[in-house]
Every structure is written in C-alpha cells, then in structure tokens.
Chain A
Amino acid sequence: MAGETKTMTIAEALREAIREEMRRDPRVFCLGEDIGIPGGFGGAFTVTLGLSDEFGRQRILDTPISEAGIAGMAVGAALAGMRPIADVQYADFLFCAMDQLVNQAAKMRYMSGGKLTVPMVMRAPCGATTRAAQHGQSPESFFIHVPGLKVACPSTAYDAKGLLKTAIRDDNPVLFFEHKLLYGSKGMRAEVGALSPVGEVPIEDYTIPFGQAVVRREGTDVTIVAKLRMVYEALAAAEALAAEGIECEVIDPRTLVPFDTETVVASVAKTEHLVVVDECPRTGGWAGEVAAEIQEKAFGHLDAPIHRVTAPDTPVPFAPVMERFYVPGRDDIARAVQGVLQWR
C-alpha cells in the first residue's frame, strides 16, 4: 500500500469508514441504540464514538430500544433514497428484527421485479465472550440462507474499513458481522493469538470488493477456511503444525455472500485437504455449506473428506470452562488437520 497509513484497531477502522462515507455522501447516516448520546458509549463497542460531534445527532440517530423498528426504518429510509447504517448492540438481537431483514430488506427488490433498491447496512457484533446464551451467538449462518442479503465478516482492521465502505456503497442490504473479541481493546489482543487485528490502515479512501478471499498463510498440505476470530485460531494452529512439518494454507473469505469459491478450489487443488472452521453451531451452519460447495466443485482434488470444526449444537454457555469447550480453538483445528491427513 503506497499511501499514508495509521495503526488502528478494528473499532477505529470501522469508525473511519463511517466517517469518510458520511463526509463523502450526505445520504449516509447511522441509526441505533446508544450510538450518539453525549457522554455516552458511541454504541455498545465504541464504533460510533465521537461521530455525533462531527455530524450532529440528526445523522447519528439514537433510537429507542426497538430492533424491528430500527431495521424497518433502515429499509424505509433506503427505499426513500438514503443510505442507512443501522446497528444492533449484539448480533443476538437481530432475531428481534428478523421480519424486517428477511421479509422486507431482502425481498423488496425481487418482489418489485427489480424496481426497488435497498442500500442499507446492518452492523452486528457477534461471538462468545462469557455473556452466555443471549449475548454470545454468531448467527451469520442464518443470513447466508436468505437470498437477497449480502454478508460480510472482516477479521482485520484493513478489511474492516475497506469492506464497510463497500457495504455502504453497495446497492443491496448487507449484514456486517464484527467479532467482539476483535474490536481491539488492549486486554484482548493476547487472547486472540498470532496476528493482531490491530493493523496498518490507509488513511485515504479505498474499498475492498466483496467476494474476494485472502490467503492469510500459504501452505501445501491442508487448506483451512476460517472467518472472523477463527482466522486467528487457524493461524495459531498452522503455526504449531508447521513445527511438525505440516504446512497449512489459511483462507479468510472476508464475505460469506458472495463467497469466493474459486480461491478455495484453487487452494484445495494444491493441498487436496480441507478443514472449515466456524464459531457457529454445527448443524445447518456456514461450515457445512462451504464443505458441500467445495465437494461439488473440487471432489476430484480431494484426498480426504472435508472436516468441519465448529461449536457444538448447543446454546452458548456462561461458565468460562464450558465456553472454552464450546468455542473452537487452535487445538481442535490442529486435531482436525491431522485427522484429514491421516484419513484412509
């Protein structure tokens, strides 16, 4: 990257993306709970902190606790020509807004025979953080199942800014998932492993196209596809396995819809083995979808069944010992890699 950069956390990178897009386009505005209250939080995870000072409280719009209303208002405002960035404080509350997202946002274009456009973003913090069953879910998989919704999942500060700007400029509703442990407050960095989500971010305008995965680490033996925080667990597993002479290629899809099948197929053509890692529960989840897609497109390359490393089919437990069991970790991933290599 040629231009000037700044070291940012993901929260800061997201804030920059919003700030730049709001400066650039008067149609862009934010709505959500506790996002702009003076002396308040700047949203549940500080992403909008300070923005109401610059843009005023008309464009950083504090709402009542009304998720269905927030989502529906975003749909309506988008239909009326605005470009809303709505958010829920925890991804778990998307379920309160499900009708507006699934029946309205996703379908207005289709139901109108292509006449209507719903350019909105719904931001949602996901991931387990000892807040138990109603504040720790990773519901991305629900939304990949809804035709008409795009789904983005940044895992680095650079991607967070570039992908959010793309989401805001996209003419479709975009579900934008942010992992709570990746926002980048200091205490959490050690916890998330090898590659810190705090990174160099260009201060100038740039976007990252949807549907382009990145190879986070190159390898020849096994391909690991992982998103959000699981990217870091996969990289840590790859590091440990390298010491045993096993070279993993780690792919971060960055968007789930659209999904970059080609990059994964190309990798599997080389490694002949695939492990998919996801913090969602197993059944009906994104990992299963990737496995199905790749076995259809690349069966001839595969030397072993595709393995999924996921959360179990349970709600998120509270007790930290149970939560550590619930959330897939580097050891689980390493075991799965060894498993696919030993398959006969």
Chain B
Amino acid sequence: MPQPPGDPLLRMYRQMVRIRQFEETVSRLFLEGRLPGTLHLYAGQEACAVGVCEALKPTDWITSTHRAHGHAIAKGVSMDSMMAELFARTTGCAGGYGGSMHMGDPAVGALTAIAIVAGNAPVAAGMALGFRMQATGQVVACFTGDGALNEGAFHEAANMAAIWDLPVIFVCENNLYGASTPIAEVVKLERLSDRAAGYGFPGITVDGMDVQAVYEAMVPVVERARTGGGPTLVECLTYRYTGHSRNDTRGYRTRAEEAEWKARDPIPRLAAHLTASGIATEAEVAAIAEEVAAELERAVRFAEESPSPAPEDCLRHVFAEEVRG
C-alpha cells in the first residue's frame, strides 16, 4: 500500500491517533463483551511502531508479536479488516482464524503476528535471508518486547543475522515490563541495546515516546540494512498504558510511574510541535481525531455486518492444498 501523501509528520500524527483510537475502541468493545478472546493493547507505544514503519518502504516487511495491533496499523493493515478479525469475521485480516494476537496482512508487508515470545526473531532473520538471496533490496523490521530478548530464539536469530549481515532490524520496545516482571529483574544490563555488541552489530537506544526521534534513528539503520551493512538493535524506551492483557490490575507498578510516562505522551507532544512549527493549525490537528473517530465507527460497522465463518471452516487452510471434510 503506498504511503498516503503529505507531510511525514502529519502522516505520523494521524497514524498514532489511529492506533490510539483503535485501542480505545476495542478496549471498550471488549469490556462490553462484544469481542471474544483476549487483547494486548498498544496504547502508549504508538511512536515506536509509527516511527519505525515511516522509515520503511511499503515493500519492506515487519514481524510482530502478541501486542500486534499498533504494528499492523502502522504498516498499513486496514482497520476494517483488523476490527473484523477481532470480531472473528470472515472479512478479518486472518479470516477469523487468528484474532488479536495474529494480526497482519501479507499484502502490505505485515507478517501474521507470532505470539510466541521471540518466535518472530528467527523468522524475521530468515525473511531477510530470503530477500538478500533474491537481491530484492527489501528489509525486515522485527518488533519485539524487552522480555523477548531473553529467549534463546532471539539470540540465535541475532547471531545469524550478524554473521550474514542480513537486512533485518531488531526493534526492541522496552516498556519496562514483560507481563508483570520488571525488566531490571531479568536483565543485568542497564541498556538493552548493549546486548548488540555481543553479537557484533550496533545497538542504539532512542526515546520511544518521541515519534520523530524514532523515525530519525531508523532512517540510517534501514539504509545500513538495505545496503548490506547488516542488522542493528534499536531499543525504544516506552511504556504500555494499560495492563499486560485483560484482567491485569497492574499491582506490580505504581500509579505515579504511570502518570510520569503518560505526561510524555507522544501524541500531544507531536501535536504541539505541529502547531508550534506551523505545519498544521490546531483546527487541522483536531480534525484528524474526528476523521479517525469516523473511520473507526465505519470499521466497527463493517465488522459487525460481516459474516461469521462456518464451523467447518475450521478444516480449511491447514495445507496448501484445500482439503475438506
């Protein structure tokens, strides 16, 4: 999907608002009992997905995690199809087979999300290997959480990506917790990006609450990957505003800490910059939120009016050949 035209900052602003409002909407729908399954919400981390994806080409790919909504929206998966997926409808981006933890759409370079922590890291490196072998010039951004860096699969992927200079970027969204576990309990290093030195490629830490900072950090990193320079570990310092998944009362962190991070919210931060620098008026900025709200209303309607799969559809898509019955 081609990027919508216009000022990149305005575009990133709209994308962040789309993610935020998507998460607010699905959170409400979930509490109303209208969505099955579970949700891992992305609110608070918008600058990471949006800054990263703005630095990619539409033909590049991302791989995502259990916390998939923001990545998918940022890469261009339609909100209609994501909403329909959460409603478990056939028009969903995975036809109702995947749900919240498996968002994605190959048509826009968003790999169906992998909900096994770090399971996506070797897959991302493997895609990068495939692209390199075919000299397509495509790169892969592999989104992970902080917790994922402690999986063996991540280490194996990072090392292989390093020795073969693969066009993959490991984007580690450090939101300070893996589920209830503070990162300091499970990593001795202060900066996760220091891990990169052990693999032999660069690691950087950026302010994941500042979309411009993420974007600007990503541009040379993507260029490096695309031109044969190999991987980079980009640690984005960020925060998830809500619980890990539903049923999380967040007893392992303080309301004061939450307030501190919310004060650095990436959306008003960019809005202030847009108006102060004359890129947009306050009215134009406000109009974006209204347009997105209308877009979401349409998405919910689209999802609700879409058909459910038939029970026997369970039997489809197991193999490349269609086998029924």
Q: Are A321 and B309 in contact (CB under 8 A)?
A: yes
Chain B hits for A320, CB < 8 A:
36, 88
* In the assembled complex, A193 has its CB within 8 A of some CB on chain B: no
Interface centre among A69, A313, A322, A323 (most CB of B within 10 A): A322
Distance between Cα atoms of A92 and B180 in the complex (Å): 20
Distance between Cα atoms of A69 and B117 in the complex (Å): 14
Give B212 Cβ to nearest chain A Cβ, in Å: 31
Chain B hits for A130, CB < 8 A:
36-38, 99
Which listed residue (B97, B148, B179, B180) contacts A39, Cβ 8 A? B180
Q: Are A134 and B101 in contact (CB under 8 A)?
A: yes
Chain B hits for A39, CB < 8 A:
180, 250-253
Flag the segment in B22-30, B43-51, B150-158, B297-305 that touches A.
B150-158
Distance between Cα atoms of A312 and B319 in the complex (Å): 14
Interface centre among A33, A131, A315, A319 (most CB of B within 10 A): A319
Known contacts: A131-B37, A318-B102, A322-B314. The answer to whether A65 contacts B180 by CB under 8 A is no
Main secondary structure of the interface of A (DSSP, over half): loop
Chain B hits for A41, CB < 8 A:
179-180, 248
Using CB atoms, name the residue of chain B closest to A281. B318
Flag the segment in B54-62, B181-189, B256-264 that touches A.
B181-189
* In the assembled complex, B114 has its CB within 8 A of some CB on chain A: yes
Which listed residue (B115, B147, B182, B309) contacts A319, Cβ 8 A? B309
Which listed residue (A66, A93, A132, A135) contacts B150, Cβ 8 A? A66
* In the assembled complex, B310 has its CB within 8 A of some CB on chain A: yes
Q: Are A321 and B311 in contact (CB under 8 A)?
A: yes
Distance between Cα atoms of A33 and B38 in the complex (Å): 19
Known contacts: A63-B186, A318-B94. The answer to whether A37 contacts B181 by CB under 8 A is yes
Give B29 Cβ to nearest chain A Cβ, in Å: 15
Q: Are B114 and A134 in contact (CB under 8 A)?
A: yes
Q: Are A40 and B314 in contact (CB under 8 A)?
A: no
* In the assembled complex, B228 has its CB within 8 A of some CB on chain A: no
* A92-148 at interface with B (beta carbon < 8 Å): 92-93, 96, 130-135
Q: Are A34 and B116 in contact (CB under 8 A)?
A: no
Distance between Cα atoms of A205 and B314 in the complex (Å): 45
Q: Are A62 and B185 in contact (CB under 8 A)?
A: yes
Q: Are B38 and A96 in contact (CB under 8 A)?
A: no
Q: How many chain A residues touch B (Cβ–Cβ < 8 Å)?
A: 38
Chain B hits for A323, CB < 8 A:
314
Distance between Cα atoms of A62 and B315 in the complex (Å): 39
Give A135 Cβ to nearest chain B Cβ, in Å: 6
* A77-100 at interface with B (beta carbon < 8 Å): 92-93, 96
* In the assembled complex, B308 has its CB within 8 A of some CB on chain A: yes
Known contacts: A92-B116, A134-B114, A318-B102. The answer to whether A34 contacts B179 by CB under 8 A is yes
* In the assembled complex, B118 has its CB within 8 A of some CB on chain A: yes
Distance between Cα atoms of A31 and B118 in the complex (Å): 20
Distance between Cα atoms of A204 and B58 in the complex (Å): 64
Q: Are A321 and B153 in contact (CB under 8 A)?
A: no
* In the assembled complex, A259 has its CB within 8 A of some CB on chain B: no
Chain A hits for B152, CB < 8 A:
66, 68-69, 96
Chain A hits for B179, CB < 8 A:
33-34, 40-41
* In the assembled complex, A326 has its CB within 8 A of some CB on chain B: yes
Give B246 Cβ to nearest chain A Cβ, in Å: 11
Distance between Cα atoms of A34 and B147 in the complex (Å): 11
Using CB atoms, name the residue of chain A closest to B186. A64
* In the assembled complex, B291 has its CB within 8 A of some CB on chain A: no
Give A263 Cβ to nearest chain B Cβ, in Å: 33
Q: Are A322 and B313 in contact (CB under 8 A)?
A: yes
Q: Are A65 and B117 in contact (CB under 8 A)?
A: yes
Chain B hits for A92, CB < 8 A:
116
Q: Are A37 and B180 in contact (CB under 8 A)?
A: yes
Chain A hits for B311, CB < 8 A:
321-322, 324-325
Chain A hits for B182, CB < 8 A:
37
* In the assembled complex, B312 has its CB within 8 A of some CB on chain A: yes
Q: Are A134 and B116 in contact (CB under 8 A)?
A: yes
Chain B hits for A132, CB < 8 A:
37, 97-99, 101-102, 115
* In the assembled complex, B203 has its CB within 8 A of some CB on chain A: no
As a 0/1 sequence over residues 192 to 207 of chain A, the CB contacts with chain B under 8 angstroms (1 = contact) are 0000000000000000
Instruction: Name 6 interchain pairs, CB-CB below 8 A, sorted by A.
Output: A34-B179, A38-B252, A39-B253, A130-B38, A132-B99, A319-B96
Q: Which residues of B contact A (CB under 8 A)?
A: 36-38, 88-89, 94, 96-99, 101-102, 114-119, 147-148, 150-153, 178-182, 185-187, 248, 250-253, 308-315, 318
Top 3 A-B pairs, shortest CB-CB distance: A39-B251, A40-B180, A64-B150
